[in-house]
A and B are shown apart, each in its own frame.
Chain A
Amino acid sequence: MVDNSLILVYEGEFTQEITKSVLLMAERNLEYMEAESNTKKKVFNVMVECLQNICKHTDKVAEDKLWNSAIFMIAKDQEYYSIVSGNAIENSFIPSLEERFNQINSLDKEGLKVLYKDMLINSQLSEKGGAGLGFVDIARKSGQKLEYSFEPINEHSSFFCFRTKIARVNE
């Protein structure tokens, strides 16, 4: 059995239709790779949130033609599944994203639950900030700290790299 492998890599444009296809392809690949249904569900859930985040964000920098494309990847090693996404974002989004990530990474399981419920109730008032709830959900489902970086592209935008790890059940 191969212990380190790429399950799926996609680079290019992310539309709603493409996002859907990538998701279904990844699900099929996972189907015969992972026997543990709980792990499979966690990976699938995180993929959905990551892909939909990319889809939302790439819209915002669409005028930046060169950086219209994004990357999405799933890999596994002996211990973890890794779900990695990379996409261009406007620099103006970075401070609020960093603030959100710091907050999420400072919380334990119970703290994340409280934050999730709070955001769920308050998001009823404003439709904005949907991505915020997605990140909290990813942190909860994965049970790991969120890993991220911002690589400057130019004075307007940066490449946002985001990685989630999901522990595999050791048989």
Chain B
Amino acid sequence: MDALLIKATEDTPHISFDPSTGVLEISGRSLPEDAAGFYKPVLDWLKQYAPAAKVGSALAMKLEYFNTASSKVILDIFNIIEKITLDKKVIWYFDKDDEDMQEAGEEFSEIVNIPFEYKTY
């Protein structure tokens, strides 16, 4: 399976998923109006990856901004990660002064059954 690499634009995030290491990273800003369209290849990749996932797969979410259209798709992403039966986690990054982003991570963690780790930058 190939790695997934999508370059950041002014309103979409950088995406870098490496199936050989299990390091999955989404970073930057996620503000597309058509979030479902933008994330379609991301969800497709993850659905293929999940059954053969690496032990200790870690999804690093380093988002500066995300819109509500993206928040639904982020939940879809977590729902796929949740189905990985092996050890996995989400690492939720937030600016130490950004309470809204911290809270957003905590809320996602209350909805899905995945261990969340929090890191500030």
In the assembled complex, how far is the CB of residue B29 from the closest CB belonging to chain A, in whole angstroms? 9
List residues 102-130 of chain A with CB under 8 A from any CB of chain B. Answer: 113, 116-117, 120-121, 123-124, 127, 130
Report Cα–Cα, A124/B11, bound state, in Å.
Answer: 23
Stretch at the interface among B16-24, B43-51, B61-69, B82-90: B61-69
In the assembled complex, how far is the CB of residue A157 from the closest CB belonging to chain B, in whole angstroms? 22
Whether A20 contacts B72 in the complex (CB less than 8 A), given A48-B65, A49-B67, comes out as no
B75 near A45 with CB under 8 A, answer: no
A42 near B100 with CB under 8 A, answer: yes
Residue of B nearest to A42 (CB): B100
Check A101 for interface membership: any CB of B closer than 8 A.
no
List residues 83-103 of chain B with CB under 8 A from any CB of chain A. Answer: 95, 97-101
List chain B residues, Cβ under 8 A from A42. Answer: 100
Report Cα–Cα, A49/B70, bound state, in Å.
Answer: 11
Counting contact residues on chain A (CB < 8 A from B), the size range is 20 to 34
Choose one: A19, A48, A49, A141; the contact of B100 (CB below 8 Å).
A141
Choose one: A19, A38, A45; the contact of B97 (CB below 8 Å).
A38
List chain B residues, Cβ under 8 A from A56. Answer: 33
In the assembled complex, how far is the CB of residue A142 from the closest CB belonging to chain B, in whole angstroms? 11
A123 near B97 with CB under 8 A, answer: no
Report Cα–Cα, A55/B65, bound state, in Å.
Answer: 19
In the assembled complex, how far is the CB of residue B65 from the closest CB belonging to chain A, in whole angstroms? 6
Chain B positions within 8 Å of A, measured between CB atoms, are 10-11, 31, 33, 36, 65, 67-69, 71-72, 75-76, 79, 95, 97-101, 107, 110-111
Q: A120-B107, A134-B68 are in contact. List 15 more A-B contacts (CB 8 A).
A: A16-B33, A38-B97, A38-B99, A41-B101, A44-B65, A45-B100, A48-B65, A48-B67, A49-B67, A52-B69, A56-B33, A117-B110, A123-B72, A124-B72, A130-B72
